[in-house]
Amino acid sequence: MCFKNLPIEFDEQGRAYLKEGVEEPFAYKKGSLGLVGHGSGIPALKGGAGGETEYTIDPVTRVAGALGFHTMCDLKERKVTEAHSYATLFRGYEVILKGRDPRDAIDISSRACGVCGGVHSTCASMALEMAFPVVPPPMGVVARNLGETAEFLYDHPLHLYLLAGPDYSEQVIRATNPEIWEAAQRTSAPHKDIHGFQTLGEIMTALNPLTGKLYLEALDITRVAREACAFMYGKYPHPSTLVPGGVSTLLDFTAFNNYYTRLMKLIDYSKRMVTIWDDVFDFFLAQNPEYAKVGMRPKNMIGTGCFDDPEAYDATYANCNEWGERRWATPGVIIDGELRTTKLQQINIGIEEFVEHSFYDEWDGQAMKTDPAGNPISPNHMWNKRTIPKPVGRSWREKYSWATSPRWDRTVMESGCYSRLWTTALAQKMPENPFIVSTGHSLKMLLPKSTTLPEMEFEWKIPETLNAIERNRARAYCMPWMCLIAMANVLKAFELLRAGQTKTATPFEVPKKGTQVGVGFWEAGRGYLTHHIIIENGKIANYQILTPSTWNASPVDPFGNPGAYEQAVLNSPILEQFSTPEEFKGIDIQRAIRSFDPCMPCTTHIYAGGRTIVRDVTSCACTLDESDLLGSANEVARREAVS
């Protein structure tokens, strides 16, 4: 059975219908903030008795955009008793797009994020392809796959070495857990013959912000990936050549050869990347197995998949279950570690977006009672949602974030590159290829000989728990995975060129009358991404963007369940060393949050006015010496009294 909480059942032919005899099938009762549903085992979202320390980070650094996080910590018991994730900025892309030419969605939505603008352009293009309709030629699909694998290959090192990586650097470890730093200097690195670092201490020093070898090398490798992306799209970021029906770039053997040259450098880099992070994370778990609990939450994940089969993709909603399951990254929903579905229609109809604890008004009416295939959808589905900003004072018991609360089957989900790996490994539906094998419990990857390293085989295994370390470890394994998907698509591009199939786009017309609906199913480096559109008489009537960080950063839902960041922090033990509350730096809380790779510009879709903030600002360590790291000599941390 696909759904356990929504009033949707399926007949013998797999067609969805509403349960009979239910007067208001999608109605729900609001729960209290102390309640936690679905057997998640997450502590209640309320503070305990006295003796707790308020620890608020605003802004959370080394993330994309404006994120704040409020906690109450029992430092004596070394646990977090209360957690609230809040997005602090409303940007209004969904409001801006209303009434515009549908084609504007491609360029405007791209500006939602400077890190992953290409995925928004791609997703918007696919939504329009479904609505118009228009089907790209095979070369257009391949070019899109190559552009987006390159974008991911830029995104993964950015996260691991510039954003999350410093949490495991010498500077941070010496300040928070000196006993681990001492052990790191004595511990030989198991994969030193591949990555070249003799000890774990050398790796941690190389992770230091601004000065570390790995930090600086990541800056350079992201340039290589962006160059590869530009060969497919003409420019990057914010490409202007993605269109409904493909790409408008003129591509030839030279463009693909240039892409291939850079891909080989990235393959070489990915071999070192996997072995470095395996060494780091295995070392942390060996030093203290409690690190497996940092950022832990239920194995509930969602993804729409990406990288289409050029022979299968036809841009229709009617066939999206079929072409979705032929993607290189399989769509899917995982509940408690079990694969619930890989069908895009079931993923789509199971989603609702709630705003009870967000700075928005609820909306009236239901524009669509079913999806284009006749499946019932909720009044809170994205095709029915309206973005109505309502800024009010922040209250943890009422409204406190510009992020909304999306849920699938009314269950708290998360999304990331790890959910892609997880679903693809479980589903065993990948296209036949010589590089990657989905085993049902792992992904095996055969990387060819590259610039400096020989052929190597890696295997990402589904972990026993979902936590901060495993989110980041999966990010490292996604690097070779993306390289191999890119390699398979480069080979397909050469095959199409030899066959004379060089056309990259199909002409289209924008419908001027009537109503058209569409949805783009794609993913960002961080996970799930959809763009839902309704067009009326040639103009956008409604546009809704749902991103991975909206899932992850969500506030409490109407049923009283904390969002994914909040759950992960509530489950995290406090493992850093400190003698007084003033010495507490909250590094384990920060590791839990950053493991999701938050992207708040994508999440908060102009709010001006006074804000009252209680904050401990913790530097990203990018501007500090070892002596003043994280609030010693120069006292980076500061508290402002609530006015």
Phi, psi of 116 (to 5 degrees): -130, 45
3-state SS string over 108-132? HHHCCCCCCHHHHHHHHHHHHHHHC
Q: Of 563, 589, 561, give the one whose Cα is nearest residue 575.
A: 589
- The answer to whether the beta carbons of residues 602 and 114 sit under 8 Å apart is no
- Residue 435 has a CB neighbour count (10 Å cut-off) of 18
- DSSP letter for 505, please: B
Q: How many residues does the chain have?
A: 643
Q: How far apart are CA 584 and CA 582, in angstroms?
A: 6
- Residue 193 has a CB neighbour count (10 Å cut-off) of 8
What is the per-residue pLDDT for 170? 98
Q: Which residues pair with 340 in a beta bridge?
A: none
Q: Higher model confidence: residue 433 or residue 630? A: 433
What are the tokens at 459?
A: 């295997």
Average pLDDT, the chain: 89
Asked if residue 38 has pLDDT above 70, the reply is no
Intra-chain end-to-end CA distance of the chain, in Å: 52
- The answer to whether the beta carbons of residues 2 and 321 sit under 8 Å apart is no
> Residue 623: pLDDT band by 50, 70, 90 thresholds?
very low
> Residue 214: pLDDT band by 50, 70, 90 thresholds?
very high
What are the tokens at 96?
A: 């801006």
Phi, psi of 577 (to 5 degrees): -95, 130
Q: Higher model confidence: residue 37 or residue 187? A: 187
What is the per-residue pLDDT for 298? 97
Q: What percent of the chain has pLDDT over 70?
A: 89
> Residue 117: pLDDT band by 50, 70, 90 thresholds?
confident
CB-based contacts of 446, cutoff 8 Å, min separation 6: 434, 435, 436, 455, 456, 457, 484
What are the tokens at 106?
A: 């491609």
Looking up tokens 């922090």 gives: 569
Interval 130-140 mean pLDDT = 98
Interval 482-490 mean pLDDT = 98
Interval 472-492 mean pLDDT = 98
Most confident of 64-78, 522-536, 601-615: 522-536
Q: Of 587, 591, 429, 595, give the one whose Cα is nearest residue 526.
A: 595
- State whether CATH 1.10.645.10 applies to domain 8-628: yes
| Cα three-residue angle 176-178-179, rounded to 5 degrees | 125
**If phi over 0 gives left and psi between -120 and 50 gives alpha, with beta otherwise, what is residue 529?**
beta
Q: What is the pLDDT of residues 316-352, one digit of tens each?
A: 999 999 999 999 999 999 999 999 999 999 999 999 9
Q: Is 144 helix (H, G, I), strand (E, B) or coil?
A: helix
Q: What is the pTM of this model?
A: 0.90
Q: How far apart are CA 362 and CA 73, in angstroms?
A: 33
- Residue 338 has a CB neighbour count (10 Å cut-off) of 9
Question: How many Cα atoms are found within 13 Å in the side-chain-facing hemisphere of 66?
Answer: 12
Asked if residue 226 has pLDDT above 50, the reply is yes
What is the per-residue pLDDT for 1? 65
What are the tokens at 461?
A: 């295994």
What is the per-residue pLDDT for 58? 86
Q: Of 483, 116, 522, give the one whose Cα is nearest residue 324.
A: 522
Asked if residue 614 has pLDDT above 90, the reply is no
Q: Higher model confidence: residue 495 or residue 630? A: 495
Q: What is the pLDDT of residues 243-288, one digit of tens each?
A: 999 999 999 999 999 999 999 999 999 999 999 999 999 999 999 9
What is the per-residue pLDDT for 469? 98
Q: Is 448 helix (H, G, I), strand (E, B) or coil?
A: coil
User: In terms of DSSP bridges, do strands 442-447 and 539-546 run parallel, antiparallel, or are they unpaired?
Assistant: unpaired
Q: How far apart are CA 99 and CA 433, in angstroms?
A: 44
